[in-house]
Chain A
Amino acid sequence: MSQHTLYDDVWERHRVRTLPSGQDQLFVGLHLVHEVTSPQAFGMLEERGLEVARPDLTHATADHIVPTDDRSRPYGDDAAESMMSELERNVGDSAIAFDHPDTGRQGIVHVVGPEQGLTQPGMTVVCGDSHTATHGAFGALAFGIGTSQIRDVLATQTIAMEKKRVRRIEVTGELDEGVTAKDVILTIIRELGTDGGVGYVYEYGGPVVEAMDMEGRMTVCNMSIEGGARAGYVNPDETTDAWLRETDAFRDDPERFEELREYWESIRSGPDAEYDDVVTIDGSAIEPAVTWGTTPGQSVGVTDPVPDPDSLPEGQRDVARRAQAHTGVTPGESMQGYPVDVAFLGSCTNARLADLRDAARVVRGRAVHGDVRALVVPGSQRVAANAEAEGLDDVFRDAGFEWRAPGCSMCLGMNDDQLVGDEVCASSSNRNFVGRQGSKEGRTLLMSPRMVAAAAVTGEVTDVRELSLVGTDTDDPAEVTR
């Protein structure tokens, strides 16, 4: 078993005891709640006559079902309205902090936690959402959980969990121009498989990860679950500190910040850390990635040929054949030139300010292709406000994108933002499963925000490195308020 890693240290600090089943009872430092997976858990609590144990460590937002266009209440969709009302009632009854759309803080749960400084290194974070691994970017242990486990956490602020093995994923070298964190994680999942991480948590490191900004690290950790790993994390460093210093949690409390920084430094995986497995990925060889199939592991570099199913390991052939029948791609050809109908820039993977800035560099001075429906769904109201303060909304609108209100939106099509028929979507989200974006004939091509922008303006999958970029990613940034 691993030793002296951040995972081992933080796990041990939160371990209340070992249960007779062999699982550990872990204390939960932050419980994030959203409207879709929580109502049944609150219901079970009520049935059992239990109360929320630590509302002070529980934080709610609404993201999955909220409309991104007309947000007047009641919502046009009765089911969405009833879920929102139920969440309002539940958080009200239990005095849980809630980023209601009226607060200006609402957004996707994995965007609002980090931007408010709720997510901190050395914490345990859980949420009824598989992309909770996102918070690992800060050196937190963050897990997605099911509704019965939400009930456990609400009732006790603890959870029964099995300790996993730790795989260090070392990304060496330096990324080429045009290659982003999204391409890194898509490449990792392609290499290790969609179930390669089962039984493991992933520790991401090496020069490429160390050079990433927090947004990039969140993108990488976010998709750990697509590689089968329930959690992924990055050791906290100066980049982490710089982000946290500007959050609500610490902006006015530098003393507290300094105090906690010592803790954060103490939990880093040490030089004596032992891992259960170490995998090295050559970052310099990573290409802008595009998926060709129906699992996040089925991707290629944009200039590389789509694999022939017969050339894949035997266990992957059937899934690949079915996937190619669904997407209609041609083995042997690259994804370049594959026509797209929709461009979706959003989701907990890639809807933060840095992602929008990055895409804007491609969009500025260009127009969305006439056959493409393009939308930007910022990750939170704060992301939207910051982007608007530096004029990014105008960049996107002028080009022909719709500029929407925050939510999960077309990542999973639980509101009106859905694909129609067999539309092809260039998407900055995390899952290309059949039916994921609301139409079972719909086709999702996962790629980086920049590649989505490139596809939006050309109307087809395009190697973003062939387009000139306008401005830099730090071009006249306005003061950012997280």
Chain B
Amino acid sequence: MSSDAADGETETTATDPVEHVSGTGIAVRGDDIDTDQILPARFLKVLTFEGLGEFAFFDQRFEEVETDHGTEEVETDHPFNDPEHRRASVLVVNSNFGCGSSREHAPQALQRWGIDAVVGESFAEIFAGNCLALGVPTVTMDGEAIEALQSFVEANPDADVAVDVAAETVAYDGRRVEADVDDTQHHALVNGQWDTTAQLAAVPERIAETANSLPYLDAS
């Protein structure tokens, strides 16, 4: 059996296509924002992902301040604290966003906070893969385009930002900007195949065939 070409099989999963995402935007600035920043490790001591949304960027959102009554935890000016951005669904970030730990808890927290798409200059691989598994696009644009979009959403918290995954564009302020969606991600989102379990499980004989061909498994 030839296995060189992509199979023509058109298995579908229960997941819906994600062709476009639109909503208001929120900018979190800075390169190399790691998943420990997005969701600190102490919030990983949970058995489900439920309720993680409120802990997104927790350590950037609160700081301890000395007052006459002792130490108090106060909100910082982090965008995730800004009531004007509370309903945002498009997060705009800079480069190497989501680096570090593979914790899926990080994109889970962002999604549960309300983020449906992330637009950035670049993403760490595991983070982008984890977002895809949740049906959250990670769309890239060059640094200048990101800077412009960040400034726009900061100044216009109520304005719509429309991420067209299928057409690979981001539209806002009457403009439509070219963006990039990685081929695999594009296919999986547009065809609603971002939940891969059923697809992978569809070929048990071929899985067994591969397993049987591996020298280190044959004697077991």
Within 8 A of A (CB), among B154-200: 183-184, 187-188, 191, 193, 195-197, 199-200
How far in angstroms is the closest Cβ of chain B from A52? Answer: 13
**Contact mask for chain A residues 89-129; partner B; CB cutoff 8 A; 1 contact, 0 none:** 00000000000000000000000000000001011000011
B residues in contact with A123, CB < 8 Å: 216
How far in angstroms is the closest Cβ of chain A from B210? Answer: 5
B59 (CB) vs chain A CBs: closest residue: A440
B residues in contact with A149, CB < 8 Å: 129-130, 133
**Contact mask for chain A residues 16-38; partner B; CB cutoff 8 A; 1 contact, 0 none:** 11111111010101000000110
B residues in contact with A27, CB < 8 Å: 207, 210-211, 214
Q: Give the contacting residue for A160; candidates B47, B200, B217; CB below 8 A.
A: B200
- Whether A158 pairs with B207 at a CB distance below 8 angstroms is yes
B residues in contact with A465, CB < 8 Å: none
**Contact mask for chain B residues 131-173; partner A; CB cutoff 8 A; 1 contact, 0 none:** 0011000000000000000000000000000000000000000
Q: Give the contacting residue for B104; candidates A37, A152, A159, A413; CB below 8 A.
A: A37
User: Once bound together, how far apart are the Cα atoms of A17 and B204, in whole Å?
Assistant: 12
Q: Give the contacting residue for A18; candidates B5, B105, B193; CB below 8 A.
A: B5
- Whether B126 pairs with A130 at a CB distance below 8 angstroms is yes
User: Once bound together, how far apart are the Cα atoms of A431 and B124, in whole Å?
Assistant: 15
- Whether A37 pairs with B103 at a CB distance below 8 angstroms is yes
- Whether B104 pairs with A195 at a CB distance below 8 angstroms is no
B residues in contact with A65, CB < 8 Å: 45
A residues in contact with B19, CB < 8 Å: none
- Whether B45 pairs with A15 at a CB distance below 8 angstroms is no
User: Once bound together, how far apart are the Cα atoms of A216 and B9, in whole Å?
Assistant: 45
User: Once bound together, how far apart are the Cα atoms of A333 and B215, in whole Å?
Assistant: 55
Indicate whether A16 sits within 8 Å of B125 (C-beta atoms), given known contacts A48-B197, A56-B220.
Answer: no
B201 CB–A CB distance under 8 Å: yes
User: Once bound together, how far apart are the Cα atoms of A438 and B183, in whole Å?
Assistant: 38
A260 CB–B CB distance under 8 Å: yes
B3 CB–A CB distance under 8 Å: yes
B74 CB–A CB distance under 8 Å: no
How far in angstroms is the closest Cβ of chain A from B35? Answer: 9
A13 CB–B CB distance under 8 Å: yes
B44 CB–A CB distance under 8 Å: yes
Q: Give the contacting residue for B214; candidates A14, A56, A83, A431; CB below 8 A.
A: A14
How far in angstroms is the closest Cβ of chain A from B202? Answer: 9
Q: Give the contacting residue for B9; candidates A20, A144, A413, A436; CB below 8 A.
A: A20
B residues in contact with A159, CB < 8 Å: 200
B residues in contact with A436, CB < 8 Å: 36, 41
A428 CB–B CB distance under 8 Å: no
In terms of DSSP, what is the predominant structure of the interface of chain B? loop
A17 (CB) vs chain B CBs: closest residue: B3
Indicate whether A194 sits within 8 Å of B96 (C-beta atoms), given known contacts A13-B214, A27-B214, A434-B37.
Answer: yes
- Whether B3 pairs with A120 at a CB distance below 8 angstroms is no
User: Once bound together, how far apart are the Cα atoms of A145 and B103, in whole Å?
Assistant: 8
B11 (CB) vs chain A CBs: closest residue: A20
B residues in contact with A431, CB < 8 Å: 34, 36, 100-101
- Whether B126 pairs with A155 at a CB distance below 8 angstroms is no
- Whether B99 pairs with A228 at a CB distance below 8 angstroms is yes
User: Once bound together, how far apart are the Cα atoms of A148 and B198, in whole Å?
Assistant: 12
User: Once bound together, how far apart are the Cα atoms of A40 and B44, in whole Å?
Assistant: 11
- Whether A146 pairs with B129 at a CB distance below 8 angstroms is yes
B residues in contact with A130, CB < 8 Å: 100-102, 126
- Whether A43 pairs with B48 at a CB distance below 8 angstroms is yes
User: Once bound together, how far apart are the Cα atoms of A149 and B195, in whole Å?
Assistant: 9
B67 CB–A CB distance under 8 Å: no
User: Once bound together, how far apart are the Cα atoms of A302 and B62, in whole Å?
Assistant: 34
- Whether B216 pairs with A263 at a CB distance below 8 angstroms is yes
A68 CB–B CB distance under 8 Å: no
B residues in contact with A162, CB < 8 Å: 184
- Whether A414 pairs with B45 at a CB distance below 8 angstroms is yes
Indicate whether A79 sits within 8 Å of B102 (C-beta atoms), given known contacts A56-B220, A156-B207.
Answer: no
- Whether B104 pairs with A148 at a CB distance below 8 angstroms is yes
A residues in contact with B100, CB < 8 Å: 130, 225-226, 431, 433
Q: Give the contacting residue for A148; candidates B48, B134, B207; CB below 8 A.
A: B134
A187 CB–B CB distance under 8 Å: no
A235 CB–B CB distance under 8 Å: no
Q: Give the contacting residue for B102; candidates A80, A128, A157, A434; CB below 8 A.
A: A128
B residues in contact with A86, CB < 8 Å: 47
User: Once bound together, how far apart are the Cα atoms of A152 and B200, in whole Å?
Assistant: 8
- Whether B95 pairs with A195 at a CB distance below 8 angstroms is yes
- Whether B213 pairs with A148 at a CB distance below 8 angstroms is no
- Whether B217 pairs with A19 at a CB distance below 8 angstroms is no
A332 CB–B CB distance under 8 Å: no
A25 (CB) vs chain B CBs: closest residue: B200
A230 CB–B CB distance under 8 Å: yes
**Contact mask for chain B residues 29-63; partner A; CB cutoff 8 A; 1 contact, 0 none:** 01110101100111011111100000000010000
User: Once bound together, how far apart are the Cα atoms of A27 and B4, in whole Å?
Assistant: 16
Question: 6 tightest A-B contacts by CB?
Answer: A148-B133, A146-B130, A146-B104, A79-B45, A130-B102, A147-B104
Interface residues of A (CB under 8 A from B): 13-23, 25, 27, 29, 36-37, 39-40, 43, 48, 50, 56, 64-65, 77, 79-80, 82-83, 86, 120, 122-123, 128-130, 144-149, 151-152, 155-160, 162, 194-195, 198-199, 225-226, 228, 230, 256, 259-260, 263, 295, 315-316, 318-319, 322, 412-414, 431, 433-436, 438, 440
List 14 A-B pairs, Cβ < 8 Å. A13-B210, A13-B214, A19-B199, A20-B193, A21-B184, A39-B47, A129-B102, A144-B102, A146-B130, A147-B49, A194-B99, A263-B216, A431-B101, A433-B34
13 other A-B residue contacts (CB within 8 Å) besides A22-B184, A316-B31: A14-B210, A16-B3, A39-B48, A145-B129, A151-B197, A152-B197, A195-B32, A195-B95, A263-B216, A318-B31, A431-B34, A431-B101, A440-B59
